[in-house]
């Protein structure tokens, strides 16, 4: 599969739009915006392992915990981008926290309120635009109340926010991965959410022909996964491993992939235990270029790619935003209707 070549060594034109990369992870959003010629002037990421990967690829270490940084410490910028932590809102994250009797969503004391850190910076720095990313379940979390709070808060900042869109990355990578994208502009501009090119790559196009044996599941783990799946099938549940079709697409890669790889397994035929994806294959599955360095352990790499964004999707959004901001037209962007139903957005 031909993927865009997002070389981290590219030198953006200093006269182009400047952006800050918050909750930066390993830099997937940065890669997409740099591809448009935008210049990153600040980044923030609290996880030390993700920061290690970020540094290896971009040459500058991200600042740490955003909650400990004042707005004055963040340079002026044109665009703010941030994929704020999704675990408090994801289906799996909510289920796990509920089973443990722990709060989720905005009630999560460590991650649920980080959205308001973005609000603080947008309010204080007043960028021309912002792009926020999260899991699809954000739309329905807490009966839709969480999403209504988010949209009302962004409206109160005075930004024009068109209808958020759920985009499935399977048109540009061989993975079913739906994420919600929220875009806002300080002034009316002719912005439209982009249509992704219909590349429709298949899994086979990103697989290594001779992966190391260490990625093959042990007989013990493979037997456990089969018994676990049978148990839940008998109970009428849909839990279990997934053998990916090499001529199709995969399930969504998640941060838990390091545990057993059960959601995306590759058949080896003849009744042999399957294997999990290699970290490099995970990078390809997320649209990262071959030049992207992976300086951490396999465990950390699986977590990082599972938490990341699909780079070609971000590139498409970045191009649409840059085009809108550079356009001489004004007044073409209408504010999202406050009465818009959640069902309409989801469709």
DSSP 60-118: SPPB--GGGS-GGGSPP-SEEEE----TTTSHHHHHHHHHTT---GGG-TTTTTTHHHH
Percent of the chain with pLDDT over 90: 72
Interval 91-99 mean pLDDT: 43
Concerning whether 86 is annotated as a catalytic residue, the answer is yes
| 23-46 b/e (C-beta count within 10 Å ≥ 16 → b) | bbbbbbbbbbbbbbbbbbebbbbb
Residue 152 to residue 294: CA distance in whole angstroms: 39
Domains of the chain: 18-200+310-346 (3.40.50.150), 203-304 (3.90.120.10)
Give the neighbor-by-neighbor strand order of the sheet with 178-185.
39-43, 18-22, 79-82, 129-135, 178-185, 165-168
Residue 152 to residue 164: CA distance in whole angstroms: 13
Interval 193-200 mean pLDDT: 95
User: Which of 288-292's residues contact partners 24+ apart within 8 Å by CB, and which partners?
Assistant: 288/3, 288/6, 288/28, 288/31, 289/3, 289/4, 289/5, 289/6, 289/7, 289/31, 290/3, 291/5, 291/7, 291/8, 292/6, 292/8, 292/31, 292/57
pLDDT at res. 87: 58
pLDDT band per the 50, 70, 90 thresholds, residue 192: very high
Encode pLDDT of 277-333 as tens digits: 999 999 999 999 999 999 999 999 999 999 999 999 999 999 999 999 999 876 666
**Token pair of 152, please?**
């009302």
Closest CA to 283 of 93, 23, 36, 31: 31
pLDDT at res. 271: 85
Q: Is the pLDDT of residue 8 over 70?
A: no
Active site residue: 38, 40, 86, 282, which one?
86
Encode pLDDT of 226-236 as tens digits: 998 888 787 77
Cβ atoms 148, 126 nearer than 8 A: no
Encode pLDDT of 143-191 as tens digits: 888 899 999 999 999 999 999 999 999 999 999 999 999 999 999 999 9
Angle at 91 between CA 89 and CA 93, to 5 degrees: 65
pLDDT at res. 85: 80
Closest CA to 255 of 294, 327, 202, 309: 309
Interval 60-86 mean pLDDT: 93
DSSP H stretches of helix in the chain: 28-35, 48-58, 91-99, 115-125, 145-156, 219-234, 257-260, 279-285, 298-307, 311-326, 342-346
Q: How far is CA 235 from CA 99, 137, 242, 266, in A?
A: 19, 25, 18, 26
């Amino acid at each position: 599969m031909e993927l865009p070549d997002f070389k981290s060594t590219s030198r953006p034109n200093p006269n182009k739009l400047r952006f800050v990369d918050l909750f930066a992870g390993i830099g997937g959003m940065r890669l997409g915006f740099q591809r448009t010629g935008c210049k990153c002037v600040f980044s923030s990421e609290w996880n030390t392992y993700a920061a290690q990967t970020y540094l290896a690829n971009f040459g500058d270490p991200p600042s740490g915990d955003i909650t400990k940084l004042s707005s004055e410490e963040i340079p002026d910028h044109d665009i703010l981008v941030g994929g704020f932590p999704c675990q408090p809102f994801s289906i799996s994250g909510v289920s796990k926290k509920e089973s443990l009797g722990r709060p989720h969503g905005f009630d999560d004391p460590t991650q649920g309120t980080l959205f308001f850190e973005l609000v603080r910076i947008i309010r204080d720095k007043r960028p021309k635009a912002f792009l926020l990313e999260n899991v699809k379940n954000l739309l329905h979390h807490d009966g839709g109340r969480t999403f209504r709070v988010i949209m009302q808060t962004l409206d109160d900042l005075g930004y024009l926010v068109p209808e958020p869109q759920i985009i499935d990355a399977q048109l540009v990578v061989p993975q079913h991965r739906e994420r919600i994208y929220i875009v806002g502009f300080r002034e009316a501009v002719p912005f439209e959410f982009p249509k992704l090119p219909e590349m429709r790559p298949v899994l086979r196009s990103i697989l290594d022909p001779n992966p190391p044996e260490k990625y093959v599941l042990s007989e013990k783990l493979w037997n456990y996964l089969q018994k676990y799946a049978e148990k839940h099938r008998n109970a009428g549940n849909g839990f279990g491993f997934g053998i990916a079709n090499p001529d199709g697409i995969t399930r969504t890669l998640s941060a838990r992939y390091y545990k057993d790889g059960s959601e995306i397994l590759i058949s080896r035929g003849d009744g042999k235990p399957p294997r999990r994806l290699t970290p490099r294959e995970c990078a390809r599955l997320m649209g990262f270029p071959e030049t992207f360095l992976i300086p951490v352990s396999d465990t950390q790499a699986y977590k990082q790619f599972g938490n990341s964004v699909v780079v070609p999707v971000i590139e498409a959004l970045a191009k649409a935003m840059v085009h809108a901001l550079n356009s001489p037209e004004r007044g073409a962007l209408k504010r999202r209707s406050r009465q818009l139903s959640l069902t309409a957005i989801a469709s």
